[in-house]
Chains A and B, each alone.
Chain A
Amino acid sequence: MGILNELDAMNHDGDLAPASLNGDERGDVAAETVAKTAKRTRKKAAAQKTTRQTARSKKRARAALREQFDAPPTLDELPDPQAELDANPELQKHNQQLGQELLHEIEMTIKRLMRLSPAYKTSLAVPADVQAVIGDNIEAVAASAGGVNILKRFQKLLPGEMIDTDTLKGMWTMLKFTGEYQVDVFKRRLKGDYDTDEWGMDQEFIDAIRPLLDFMYNKYWRVSMAGLENIPDDGRALLVSNHSGQLPFDGAMIGSGILQHHPASRMMRALYANWFPTLPFVSDLLTKTGQVMANDENAERLLAQDHLVAVFPEGYKGVGKLYKDRYHLARFGRGGFARIALKTKTPLIPVAVVGAEETYISLYKSQTMAKLIGFPYFPISPTFPLLGPLGLIPLPTKWYIDIGEPIRTDEYPDGSENNLMLISQLTDQTRDTVQNMINDRLRQRKSIFLG
């Protein structure tokens, strides 16, 4: 064991070993062969490999694997020296001799070194060594398992710092602190010591679920948002968006995007339909994230308080659209949003969401099921309800959210909210704008999943 340890120490501490191994091709191969025999005879021999050697052996494993599957080698790969070696027993013998000479030489060098510096000690407990041992063994197992690469991936995931005791201590402290903090927050909330606004929005709750929203926004749907400058930094505004995707994720993504990227990081208040408050947890979630039940009184009050409000005038007709009807806007309600915008003199900001339609592929709407369980619609998709809750996982499509230029309503005289012609004209104008924005984006889009 002694020689190996020293050899290893040298690999790490001095330039000697790499220099000695940097000779001609043959010597290199010989060293490797020696290493291999040593590995077989003494169990933990793998510790002596240099980084270069590791890379080389990996390459070799890959080549072996390729041979196994009869795939032709590519030009950039070197021919396998191992196979060459196996074919020629004379060369093998020669190599073994060379290797033994080399080992002897190295041993002598170490002894000379030790005589020169008697205080020098070697140990295996250096974190990098332990990692190297683990890493090499993982590789060995992976190679013997016939090229199952999962373990190799684990090895890649294992950075050197993971083994360091200080890192572990630090991690433990952080975890403990986080745990204690969470328990404290939970205890405090259980005592009722937290605050909400008058609509029930709970900032702590929003902070807690924001990582999930940000993940969905940035990583899962890779939303790209354009036209944020059309949203004012303060003052009332009414976002009018198309609604799609069976579950109302589009509202969450618009809100999350505005919160993340708008310079004033405004909180959007979406108005939701009266079916959601009857659902447990959904009602709670919507209220705590600051969303508000859609009706005239709530909308007027929110706008009078200068909030940024979002409406989805398509309603269930939009969200429960069949796949074949995607991106064809449904009727925009009865124009209630236009009436309220006229009444409160709020600018209408059209918003087009592209990509949400494909998150679920609804082939058919079952009236019977919907009536049976009291849902406004019940979609049948290739995965739902066949796979149960798994069918609820949305597809990772690429989303685009385009925010259009505001449609001003403050130029109309007072009392315009009773002008039915104006309301229907304004409704149609908004709907056409959103439809055009969707069409423009669809023309540019090349792929549903890649954008």
Chain B
Amino acid sequence: MADERVIVVTGVAGYWGNRMVTRLLEQDDVHVIGIDDETPQVNVDGLDFIQADLRNPLLIELLRQEEVDTVVHLKFRETLAASESGFEQNVMGTAKLLGACGEAGVPRVILKSSTMVYGARPDNPMFMREDHPLNGSKKYGYVRDWIEIEKYADSFQEQNPDTLLAILRFGNIVGPKADTPMTRFLREEEAITLLGFDPMMQVIHEDDVVSALAHAVNGAEAYRGVFNVASEKGMPLWKMLGLATKLPIPILHPFAYWSVSLGGPRLAPLPLDYLRFPCMGDMTRMRDVLRFTPQYTPEETVREFSAQQRVRKLLGKKSRETFEQDRLRDTLERRKRVRERGGASKRARRKSHAE
């Protein structure tokens, strides 16, 4: 099958790589090569797995020889404290991979980033456009690495105009299985908040993250540039905690900042600024250029997440039942929405493949 598109997905041993590969393999017209320096825990049928480090100089040869069409870069290690090894793996790994893509002339590259790179600051616009300066906190390893990667990617795009680089900046990813800063925050025993602050938050469901990435891979036109991807409307932090059935524990903010500066980022999975000031992206480009719409509403996303929570057992039987009813209603409404929008459900997709 010569007309098969060859897609390279990095970080297939991780959660995102695994989800992405599974999603792409549902399609018949692609050949998926997975790259990672460790073997995946879960075997995916049909995956062409190559064990390699991204910093390996022979990567150029691989990309050339396989005539790779698209690279989806999902290898990312979320380090809490800014560390040299994390920087080496995340930033230098991305830099080497991008360099190789440029050399080998790969037409499309897709990166996954986060809206946290804008930074939560008091003078932020409520909805930040993609060209807003990246002022994120450098104290947290993953935020710093994302910013460094984006800066590198920006200069890479200038030097290699032939390669179409799309960066998807996702809002706070929440989902039952994903492990992200926000889910770590919500999974903690206590939800530490700052007294008297209730910023607006944007969330996106893990399934929508995979859908958005697949959308960027499969789009008829190639996407170039940065896109914020999240549910358009935000919700207050306290509302989110309520939907996640957590009781917020407000702490006076100077004290909280002081303890984190003493105890290090381990004490707070999210940088405290993000619990104090809004950090939300403008979704105009996602809607008009990427033409992607998340399936889950923000409320559904958080409710879906909290369904898996251990804390839920502490609730009474009655409220648990209403909760389950709410969830099923969410699901039904979502399926109806998808059908109305004419989006390809899994069943429809399978049918069309059979034809």
Contacts and interface: CB of A to CB of B under 8 A. Distances in A.
B37 interface: no
A192 B239 contact: yes
Interface stretch (B89-97, B175-183, B196-204, B263-271): B196-204
Contacts of B253: 280
B243 interface: yes
Interface in B54-111: none
A325 interface: no
A381 B317 CA distance: 58
B122 A274 contact: yes
Contacts, number: 85
Contact of B123 (A191, A200, A295): A295
B125 A283 contact: no
A278 interface: yes
Given A191-B243, A196-B239, A198-B232, A280 B197 contact: yes
B152 to A, nearest CB: 27
A298 B122 contact: no
Contacts of B242: 189-193
A194 interface: yes
A193 B129 CA distance: 29
Nearest to A295: B125
Q: Which of A189, A192, A292 has the most C-beta atoms of chain B within 10 angstroms of its own C-beta? A: A192
Contacts of B126: 198-199, 292-293, 297-298, 301
A361 B164 CA distance: 62
A282 B194 CA distance: 13
Contacts of A189: 242
Interface in A212-252: none
Given A199-B126, A284-B198, A301-B127, A277 B277 contact: yes
Contacts of B276: 283
A120 interface: no
- What bracket does the count of chain A residues touching chain B fall in? 20 to 34
Contacts of B196: 279-284
A433 interface: no
Contact of A293 (B123, B235, B241, B243): B123
A217 to B, nearest CB: 25
B189 to A, nearest CB: 18
Contacts of B200: 196, 198-200, 287
B157 interface: no
B123 A297 contact: no
Given A280-B194, A287-B198, A192 B243 contact: yes
A295 B123 CA distance: 8
B243 A277 contact: no
B236 interface: yes
A297 B122 contact: no
A301 B128 CA distance: 11
Contacts of A196: 200, 235-236, 239
Given A277-B277, A280-B197, A192 B302 contact: yes
B295 interface: no
A288 B199 CA distance: 10
Q: Which of A202, A292, A293 has the most C-beta atoms of chain B within 10 angstroms of its own C-beta? A: A293
Interface in A262-317: 274-275, 277-284, 287-288, 292-293, 295-298, 301
Interface string B116-153: 00000011111111000000000000000000000000
Given A196-B239, A280-B195, A287-B198, A293 B124 contact: yes
Interface string A180-212: 000000000111111010111010000000000
B13 to A, nearest CB: 35
B129 A297 contact: yes
Contacts of B239: 192, 194, 196
A280 B275 CA distance: 12
B233 interface: yes
B160 interface: no
A277 B122 contact: yes
Nearest to A197: B233
Contact of A200 (B195, B236, B244): B236
Q: Which of B124, B129, B247, B299 has the most C-beta atoms of chain A within 10 angstroms of its own C-beta? A: B124
B7 interface: no
Nearest to A288: B198
B240 interface: yes
Nearest to B277: A277
A430 B7 CA distance: 60
Contacts of A278: 122
Contacts of B198: 200, 283-284, 287-288
B171 interface: no
Given A198-B126, A198-B127, 15 more contacts: A191-B242, A192-B302, A196-B200, A196-B235, A198-B233, A199-B200, A278-B122, A280-B194, A280-B196, A281-B195, A283-B196, A287-B236, A293-B124, A297-B126, A297-B129
Query: Closest 7 interchain pairs by CB?
Result: A280-B196, A192-B242, A297-B125, A192-B243, A281-B196, A274-B123, A277-B122
18 contacts: A191-B242, A191-B245, A192-B238, A192-B239, A193-B242, A194-B239, A196-B200, A196-B236, A198-B127, A198-B200, A198-B234, A200-B234, A275-B122, A280-B194, A280-B195, A282-B196, A283-B197, A301-B126
Interface of A: 189-194, 196, 198-200, 202, 274-275, 277-284, 287-288, 292-293, 295-298, 301
